[in-house]
Amino acid sequence: MANTKNTSIILEILKGLGVPILLIMLLAMVIVPLPPIALDILFTFNIALAVAILLTTIYVGKPLEFGVFPTILLVVTLLRLALNIASTRVVLLEGHTGTAAAGRVIEAFGEFVVGGNYAVGLVIFSILVIINFVVVTKGAGRVSEVTARFTLDAMPGKQMAIDADLNAGIIDQEAAKKRRAEIAEEADFYGSMDGASKFVRGDAVAGILILFINIVGGLIIGTAQHDLTMSAAVHNYTLLTIGDGLVAQIPSLLLSTAVAIIVTRVSQTQDMGKQIFAQIFSDRRTLIVTATVMTVLGLIPGMPNFAFISLALLCGFGAYRMSGSRPAPPPDPAEAQSPQPAAPNLGWHDVDPIDLIGLEVGYRLIPLVDKERDGPLVSRIKGVRKKLTEELGFLIEPVHIRDNLELQPNAYRISLMGVPVGESEIHIDRELAINPGQVFGKIDGIDAKDPAFGLEAFWIEPGRREEAQMLGYAVVDPATVVATHLSQILKTHAHELLGHEETQQLLDRLAVSAPKLVEELTPKTLPISVICRVLQNLLEEQINIRNIRRIAETLSEQGARTQDPDALSAAVRVALGRSIVQSVAGMRSELPVMTLEPELERILNDSSVDGEINGLEPGLVGRLHDSLSEHAQKQEIAGEPSVLLVAPNLRPWMSRMMRGIRNLYVLAYNEIPDDKRIQMIGAVS
């Protein structure tokens, strides 16, 4: 056991020293002259390493599994250049002695591969350089550049998709962290490949320059220093240089091919050979047509009939085997011997339920909601659901998105429980510049209205975004327009989204931390229907139900006295008074309020019967509405909350009558906390 442990430690140390030792060897090859036998070993190792790298790029499941490839590419390129320097030194120093001066590998490539003919060697070397430099390296570099750019451009969208899935609960925090790491790793990999492809391109250029330098330098050294004839010098130095160039260019071509393969791979965990076979030969008609063409060519007189006919037979046999391996098609019902079973009777499963929340879009807006292309509206809607769920205190159901050809191409429609509640048009190629109420000029664009709040707006070209923002406009993209409109509608109609099932879910969650409270509340004190109605009343008046424990405690106390939902809602409002006032006025110590003039309050009290106001003059309600609307508008411009403080028995009726006034809050006297000071700013007459 001790020996095994020591061996493992030694192996780990050697692994850590591998790269430093290799770099030291590279420096040594540049500085120290190497004997021919060492050059043979290193050139052979270089070729084997290039083959191994090429095969790794072919058999790896997906590019990111070979993430160290850019670093390996740099190291191997440096190794090959160091070998070029070492072999150049030997060729120029010992080339006058013959073609074996630089080792057996260079001699073999110079003599055997090109037949000892340096002219043929120059042609072959030139062809290899053209293939490597012009075709493979240039194409791989362009693909690396484009892939890196698109990968970086797609990062924000992918990050938003991860955040949306995390917010929607589709994935957990660990899965989101892992997916973010994969995106960052992918961007780093393709960014590194964009730079690493330049190493290969520079290596190809260096090979051409080294060839000419060796030939010219060898001729000068051979004739001037070693008294060789010109023909002998040309023979020796040219063959040695060509052998050296071929030994370097073949691994260079293999690595260029490896770069091209890795950057053109699709990011899927699948063997490349299986991908090619599955995609090229997935349809037997390909082999049938190929066999037919080869047969026709093989029957033409003067053509190599045997080669063409043999290939045609091979393709035909492959098509036959593919057809035989396919599963048999299902029998035709008209030809079936046994009688077919009768169609089942209609059942309740044939009745399609109505979507609680629906979004229909015209055909031009489909790219916004296309999940396969990461439509931006899909992630925005998930964000809206998460935000409203946190704000309101109950789970907002998913939004069912579908296209509707009956709508205008740029139109969308929002529906609740099958009933349309909002509709508008957007321009997918423009952005909406919204006038928040104070701008410094007008911008050219298509006139529109902000669908969420009805503000003046213009659809502008994306290039004019900064100009609009400088003028004071709020500029949003089309997906944000729809998401904001949807958020506003869901917030306004939140009470319609809460039903018995959602109420039961809230109580079940509360029962985990306060089981006795829930047990006492329902069904002993109040039925679930009354509790649901109270929660709906709160949501209808824009009061969140996040503090479900406080709500349940109040209902449990008041439920013994009454089961009237309106009376219970009023009691819950008093219990939630602090949070209601805080949502209206924030943390300020004083609350600016308006009240009703005593005479008006007396008239309303005299007309009040069980919380309802009867027998009022129609014009009185209209004048009251106009007065409060004007007050609310002034308060909004001043940045102050608009609060109307009334008697508890008048508050429900006043709240319903004045609900159409934007940013007006109707509160009862007993809903104001004791520590909150009231600042009287006027009385409504």
Q: What is the pLDDT of residues 569-583, one digit of tens each?
A: 999 999 998 888 888
In the predicted model, what is the mean pLDDT of the chain?
79
* Across 598-604, average pLDDT: 83
Q: Which fold has domain 369-490?
A: Glutaredoxin (3.40.30)
Per-residue pLDDT tens for 231-289?
A: 777 777 777 777 777 777 778 778 778 777 777 765 555 555 565 666 666 667 777 87
Token reading at 497: 């989204």
Closest residue by Cα to residue 144 from 192, 183, 184, 181: 192
> What's the average model confidence in pLDDT over 50-59?
82
Please give the pLDDT value at position 335: 44
- Listed range (6-15, 24-33, 505-514, 595-604) with the worst mean pLDDT: 6-15
Assign 328 to helix, strand or coil. coil
Q: What is the mean pLDDT of residues 119-137?
A: 74
Query: Residue 360: is its pLDDT beyond 90?
Result: yes
Q: Which residues contact 165 (CB under 8 A, 6 or more apart)?
A: 171, 176, 382
Among positive and negative, which fits the CA dihedral 58, 62, 63, 64? Answer: negative
* In contact, 682 and 627? CB cutoff 8 Å: no
b/e burial code for range 311-347 (CB count within 10 A of at least 16 → b): bbeebbebbeebeeeeeeeeeeeeeeeeeeeeeeeee
Confidence of residue 490 (pLDDT cuts 50, 70, 90): very high
Q: For 286-326, write each residue's pLDDT tens digit.
A: 778 787 887 887 788 777 777 778 877 888 877 777 765 55
pLDDT at 415: 93
CB 676 within 8 A of CB 591: yes
Q: Looking at residue 441, what DSSP letter applies? A: S
| Cβ-based burial of 380 (10 A; exposed 0-12, middle 13-18, buried ≥19) | buried
Q: Is the link from the previous residue into 523 a cis peptide, with omega within 30 of 0?
A: yes
Phi, then psi, of 374 in degrees rounded to 5? 50, 55
Instruction: Name which of 590, 592, 591, 617 is nearest 603 in CA terms.
Output: 617
What average pLDDT does range 467-491 have in this prediction? 90
Confidence (pLDDT) at 233: 77
d(CA 220, CA 227): 10
Averaged pLDDT, 546-551: 92
pLDDT tens per residue across span 178-196: 878 877 777 777 777 777 6
By 3-state DSSP, what share of the chain in percent is helix, strand and coil, each rounded to 5? 65, 10, 25
The pLDDT, as a whole number, for residue 448 is 92
Which of 254-268, 465-479, 593-607, 646-660 is predicted least confidently? 254-268
Domain 498-575 in CATH 1.10.8.540? The answer is yes
Taking each helix axis from N to C end, the angle separating 376-392 and 478-492, rounded to the nearest 10 degrees, works out to 30
Beta bridge partners of 592: 679
pLDDT digits (tens, 9 = 90+) for 147-164: 777 666 666 666 666 766
Q: Which CATH class name applies to 587-685?
A: alpha beta
Amino acid at 675: D
> What would the DSSP string read from start to end of 192-222?
HHHHHHHHHHHHHHHHHHHHHHHHHHHHHHH
Q: Would you state the pLDDT for residue 460?
A: 93
Q: Which residues pair with 100 in a beta bridge?
A: none
Give percent of the chain above pLDDT 70: 81
- Residue 194 neighbours by CB under 8 Å, 6+ apart: 144, 145, 147, 148
Q: Which long-range contacts (CB under 8 A, 24 or more apart) does 418-427 make?
A: 418/354, 418/355, 418/358, 421/489, 421/493, 422/451, 422/485, 422/486, 422/489, 424/449, 424/451, 424/481, 424/485, 426/365, 426/459, 426/478, 426/481, 426/482, 427/459, 427/478
What's this model's pTM, rounded to 2 decimal places? 0.51
Give the position of tokens 């630089």. 102
Write the CB contacts of 554 (distance below 8 Å, at least 6 apart in sequence). Answer: 568, 571, 572, 575
Task: Please spell the DSSP secondary structure of 42-87, one letter per residue.
Answer: HHHHHHHHHHHHHHHHHH-SSGGGGTTHHHHHHHHHHHHHHHHHHH
Question: Which of 342-351, 389-398, 498-507 shows the lowest per-residue confidence on average (mean pLDDT)?
Answer: 342-351
- Residue 260 contacts residue 143 (beta carbons within 8 Å): yes
